[in-house]
Structures are given as structure tokens and as C-alpha cells.
Amino acid sequence: MEENHSEAYEALIQFLYVSPIGLAQINAQGDIEMINPMSAQLLMPLSKSGDLDNLFVVLEEVAPEVRGKVAAYGEPLGVVCDSLRIRLEAKAGRREQLQVLSLSVLKLGANRLMAVVNDVTSEWQREQQGMLRKLNDAARIDALTRLPNRTAIQEFVQNVIARSRSDGASDFAVIFLNCDRFKQINDTLGHTAGDKTLGLIADRLRSALRPYDHVGRDTSDNHMAARIGGDEFVVVLDQLGRSDDAHAVAARLIDTLDKPYGIGPHQIRCSASMGVVLGAQADGDADDILQDASIAMAEAKQQGGGRYAVFEPAMKERAVRRGNAEVELRQALVGGEFFVVYQPVIDLQGTSGLERSAGVEALVRWRHPTRGIVPPLEFIGLAEECGLISALGTYVLETACHQMAAWRRRLGVLAPRNLAVNLSRAQLADVELVAQVDRILRSTGMQPQNLQLEVTESLAAQDESVQARLAELRALGLTLALDDFGTGYSSLASLHLLPVGTVKIDRSFVSQAATSRHHRVLIEATVRVAQSLEMKTVAEGIETVEQAQIVRSLGCDKGQGYLFSRPIDALEIEQWLRGKHDEQAHIPRRYDGTAGHEMSTLEPSLQ
């Protein structure tokens, strides 16, 4: 029996000696009572003195917490610490590369513990590589939509370019997508609703990229949709079956994204503008192609949005010109190149010539140092795009109010009775707008009842926050007008919901009043509804005597247009007002053809 016990003990010692696991028996003070060769091999490089008398001393620099863990462990048996990772950096003369050890300490009795030491460097490296892969994947995914992000799509586009160039094919397309009204969603419903909308857009992009092409070939790995920031997305179509497929996909995306989105109780619309770069047009690297697609998208947006445009080299030239124009626009605002002109507004229903001069509308112009006078159509949109429209609008309002006060001082009763100034979406989104208008009124001495602020129909009708801001402005005592009525989203039935006192009938209706009974009926209906709501009406764009006669007979209160005067500067307005006063005895009081003089007496103002 004793012989068997001796053989078993010898076998155990032999096992411990050749075991690939480091084992060391210690007491509660850390003194090493028994240690196998593997443990000695792993621990010896850690010993400053070159001996292995005490485990706590050996681990003092790399794992000092082990001493405290053993001292604090009150149970008679159990695991003191399990798989404690000890990272040993490379050190000249000791270790040529990083090494990671794993240490476990087991309590076997009141004063007996077993330390288990393993080299887990390979395992740790695998773990680190797995973590890096996960981090890399996370860094390539957009957290909000779970679509690939800019980094991922750039890499994908670059791979597509490399493949197409290696096999001489051009069977791919890149689509750059931007939402047309996303800012309005954020402004009216909040950023949470905006985020939900982006998530729904991502879902629609996934479903719209069908996994099979027109011949049934699986293409699930050939297409990618990504969100690259804000409300901008990119779709890459690789290995297309035919060139027309890109157009078909773009059209399908336009239709898919234009359908209403259910956000809580709201049904909102958020169309998209897209720019397409076909493989045959692609030039440069991934960044160049994405930029070209973005330029084409901007062209689609300028054409009204809700459509796609295929990139052409001429677009890049126009984009460069727009970029240069933006720089010039900023310099113009600082350098005082903008100025204000005024177009008279005529009282169509007055009983005397003097009353026919009802007011003026302030309009901005740009006096370019080399191009001369730049019309607003060429810079207003650009000012909106580059964030200068608010500053420009404030300049016009302040300049015009100062001018109105000057006219009052110099002209007395001949001065314009009312001043109309347009407001942009950006101004109405500014929380400081009401205080700013109030400050301008006070500093210029302008009476609020003589100021009319104008907003477009679509802006006032669609945006609840804008309507609230308009109500605040109206509380200052000024008048609000709905500009270009008939071209936006509202209807006569909803006119009573808008916080305005004047309706300006769009020139597109007035221009066809003489030739289209339909347009005459629309004008008359607008006038009648406005009158029922105690609103005034202004007919815009009157260019002929016949148009003036018609809108007057239909009941329009006021009119403006080239028939009466082009927009002119402040001095010319004074001359115009004085001239009209001097000629009032000769100005016909009616537009029905019964006056002693024909309306042609006003035609020189067209020149």
C-alpha cells in the first residue's frame, strides 16, 4: 500500500514538473514553497533580485494588487483571483516583444495557496484583433440609420473604380441624395422626428435596392447605400446589367422617398434631390466622383427638387462659378455693394390722384464692381444657400425704414403711406427676429402701422413655427402680407387660418387676366374671400392698361407693376411722387375707360 502511495506521489511530481502550466505553492505571506519549471520560467524575468523566494515581491511592479487580494480573502477555501491579466511590455535585454500572463490564485487551506500562471499572449492577441475588427466595423456604420457611413462608402467606391478599370468596364453608377425639406421637419416637429425620418429613409433605400437585376442575377453584394452625414445619402450601383439601369433605380428612389412618412400623428413629405455619376463619366478617385455626384444633386435641387440630374462636366464649371460668386457675395455685404430700390404700389380704388400713391415695396440690388447691376434672381438663392440671406434681409429692412423716415420729413403728405419688405425663411427661423424688428422700428422712428412684412404663401401655410413668429410680429402693430398667392400650397378655404392682413395676387394670374376667363375667376374669388376676411388685396405684375382695368373691376384694392413704375432708387421715388402730385389733375381716376385720359399717360415709366 505504501509502495502504491509512493508511486502516485512520484507520478504527481513528474506531472507537475513537465506540465505546460505554471504552478506555485505559496503561504499567506507569499513565500514560495513549491514551484514547477514552467512557473519558474514565466516568473523569473519579473524578479529584480533573480530569485523566486516570494511571489508578492516578484509581482510587486506588475500586479501589486495580488498581495492585498490574498490578505482580504476571508474564506477558508476558494478562488482569490481568476485569470488576472498581466501585460508585460517589451524590454531590452529581458523581452523582445510584448507578453501577457494570466494569473489565478486558489486558497487551499488556512495558510496554503496555489498560484496558476499561463502565457496567454497568443490568446490576448486574438482577442485584440477581434476587438479591433469590431471597432473598425462600428467606425464604418452610421449609428442612427445602421447604414454604412462615409468611410465605408468611400472605400466601396474606390474598390468599384479599381475593378472597373482593371476589366475595362464602366457598368457602375454613384447617386448622391439630399432631402429637400429636412430642415423644416426639424424646425417644426423637432430633431427626434427628424431622426425617425432619417431612419425611415434608410429603410426605404434598403428595400428599393432590389437584390436581383433585370435578368434575375443576384446583385445583393454589388449595391450599397450609405449615410454620409446630416440628410445626405449615397447609393452605389456596381456591375449594372445595362446603362439604363442607373436611370431606372434613380427614378424608383425618387418615387419611393416621395411617399408620406408617418411620424407619430403626422404624415409628412420629404422629397429628395439626386445627382448621378455614371461609370462612363467617372473621373478621378472616390472623393472626386462623390463631389461630382454632389454637384449634380445641387443642379437637381436648383431645378425645383424631387428629381435627379446626371452629372455633366459643365456642371462643375457652374459650381466653380457659384463658389466664386459666394465669395464675392460675402465681400459685397461687407463692402457696401448692395443697395435698395423701391417699386410704387398704387391705390386702384382711390377717388383722387393723390390717393393712388399707396406705398412702396423695398427690393435689394447688387452693384457689382465689374458686372454692373446684378438682378436678385442671380444672388438671392445663393445668399440662402450660403447663410447670408438673414444679414441681407436685415440690411434691407433697416435701410428702407431709415429711408421711409427721411421721406416723411422731406415730403410730408406726399411721402409713401406704407413700406413693404420681404422676409426670408431664414429670418423667420431666427428667434431674435421679433426683437430685431422692434429695435429697427424704434431706432428709425418708423410707425409699425406703416410697415408691411411679406412672406411667401408656401412658407406661411406649411410651417407652424413660422405662423407663430408671424403672430408675434403682428402683435408689434405692423401689417403682414401673403406674397405670390396662388403659387404655393394653401387654398382659399384655408386663407382664414393664416395670420395676414393683405393678400398679394401673383403676377402669373394677372398676366393672363386679359386672355383667360379661368384666371379672372380665380382673381375675383381671391378678392371676394379676402374681403370677407377683411383683408386687402394687391395685384402684382401689372404691365398693361387692360390688366389694370380688369383687376380694378374685379375689386383689387392696390396694384404694382411696370405699368406704373419699375423699381427705382430713393431720389427717383421722390421725383415720381412729386410728379404724380403735380399731374393728379390729368391722371384718370377710373380704369374702366371713362376717364378723360388713357392709361398710356403712365407708360413712360416703363422706359
In a domain, 390, yes or no: yes
Domain residues for the domain of 104 are 2-123
- Cell numbers 434672381 correspond to 377
Average pLDDT estimate for 259-275: 88
d(C-alpha 337, C-alpha 390), whole Å: 16
The answer to whether position 578 is within a domain reads no
Contact of 488 with 458, CB cutoff 8 Å: yes
420 within 8 A of 452, measured Cβ to Cβ: yes
At 555, the pLDDT band (50, 70, 90 cuts) reads very high
Whichever domain contains 94, its CATH number is: 3.30.450.20
pLDDT of 164 > 80? The answer is: yes
Does residue 515 lie in a domain region?
yes
Tell me, what DSSP letter sits at residue 541? -
What b/e readout covers 348-363, taking b as 16+ CB neighbours within 10 angstroms? bbbeebeebbbbbbbb
Q: CA nearest 354: which of 411, 425, 295, 306?
A: 411
Return the pLDDT at 581: 59
**For residue 591, pLDDT beyond 90:** no
Based on the domain organization, do 251 and 390 belong to the same domain? Answer: no
CA distance 122 to 140: 27
pLDDT of residue 457: 67
The reply to whether 279 and 213 lie within a common domain is yes
Contact (CB, 8 A) for 359 and 454? no
Which residue in this structure is represented by grid cell 496567454? 120
**Measured distance CA(557)–CA(555) in Å, rounded:** 6
pLDDT at position 163 is 84
Residue 73 has pLDDT above 80, yes or no: yes
Do residue 254 and residue 387 come from a single domain?
no
Write out pLDDT tens, residues 223-235: 889 999 899 999 9
pLDDT at 301 over 80: yes
Number of structural domains in the chain: 3
Residue 7 has pLDDT above 70, yes or no: no
Question: Taking 70 as the threshold, does the pLDDT of residue 479 lie above it?
Answer: yes
Backbone angles phi, psi at 597, to 5 degrees: -120, 150
Nearest CA among 477, 405, 380, 484 for reference residue 434: 477
Average pLDDT for 272-286: 88
pLDDT tens by residue, 514-525: 999 999 999 999
The pLDDT value given to residue 333: 86
Q: Where are the beta strands (DSSP E) in 296-450?
A: 308-310, 338-347, 357-368, 372-374, 418-422
**Of 94, 123, 152, which residue is a domain's last?**
123
- What's the pLDDT score for residue 134? 65
| Residue whose C-alpha cell is 485584440 | 128
Residues 479 and 564 in one domain: yes
Which of 123, 153, 175 marks a domain boundary?
123
Q: Is residue 317 part of a domain?
A: no
As a whole number, mean pLDDT of residues 411-435 equals 88
The mean of the pLDDT values for the chain is: 82
Backbone angles phi, psi at 272, to 5 degrees: -135, 150
CATH no. for residue 490? 3.20.20.450
Same domain for 344 and 240: no
User: What is the β-pairing status of strands 338-347 and 558-559?
Assistant: antiparallel
**Residues 461 and 489 sit within 8 Å (Cβ to Cβ):** yes
Domain membership of residue 316 (yes or no) is no
Cα 42 to Cα 121: distance, rounded to the nearest angstrom:
12
- The helix or strand, by DSSP H or E, that contains position 481, with its residue range, turns out to be strand 479-485
Q: How far apart (Å, rounded) are the C-alpha atoms in residues 57 and 63?
A: 10
Stretch 237-262: mean pLDDT = 86
- For residues 390 and 582, the model is more confident at 390
Q: State mean pLDDT over 95-116.
A: 86
Residue 5: predicted pLDDT: 58
Question: CA dihedral in degrees (546, 547, 551, 556; nearest 10)?
Answer: -120
**341 and 257: one domain?**
no
Q: Is 30 exposed, middle or buried (0-12, 13-18, 19+ CB in 10 A)?
A: buried
Average pLDDT estimate for 24-47: 89
The helix/strand/coil state of 171 is: coil
Same domain, yes or no: 170 and 199? yes
Lowest-confidence segment of 36-40, 332-336, 603-607 by average pLDDT: 603-607
- Rounded mean pLDDT of 25-34? 90
Residues 508 and 538 in one domain: yes
CA distance readout (Å), 546 to 529, 550, 599, 600: 24, 6, 9, 11
Asked if pLDDT for residue 181 goes beyond 60, the answer is: yes
Q: Are residues 149 and 103 in the same domain?
A: no
Higher pLDDT, 169 or 69: 69
- Whether the pLDDT of residue 300 is over 60: the answer is yes
pLDDT reported for residue 343 = 95
How far apart CA 235 and CA 226 sit, in angstroms, is 6
In a domain, 208, yes or no: yes
Q: Could you read off the pLDDT of 311-357 as tens digits, one per residue?
A: 988 888 877 777 777 888 889 888 899 999 999 999 998 754 434 67
Is position 577 within any domain? Answer: no
Write out the DSSP string of 375-420: PGGGTHHHHHHTT-HHHHHHHHHHHHHHHHHHHHHHHGGGS-SEEE
- On the question of pLDDT at 198 being above 50, the answer is yes
**CATH for 203:** 3.30.70.270
Grid cell digits, residue 574: 421722390
Overall average pLDDT of the 426-453 stretch: 91
pLDDT at 412 over 70: yes
From 267, 290, 311, give the residue that closes a domain: 311
85, 104 contact by CB (below 8 A)? no
Whether residues 517 and 458 share a domain: the answer is yes
The CB density around residue 540, as the number of other CB atoms within 10 Å, is 23
pLDDT band at 103; cut points 50, 70, 90: very high
Query: What's the residue count for the chain?
Result: 607
Residues 165, 52 share a domain: no
CA distance 62 to 77: 26
**Gyration radius (Cα) of the chain, Å:** 40
**Would 275 be classed as within a structural domain?**
yes
Which residue reads 455693394 in cell numbers?
337
What is the C-alpha separation between 260 and 157, in angstroms, rounded?
31
The closest alpha carbon to 336, from 278, 395, 384, 280, belongs to: 395
User: In angstroms, rounded to a whole number, what is the distance separating the alpha carbons of residues 218 and 241?
Assistant: 11
The 3-state DSSP class for residue 389 equals helix
Shared domain check, 106 and 36: yes
Inform me whether the pLDDT recorded for 375 exceeds 60. Answer: yes
Share of the chain above pLDDT 70, in %: 84
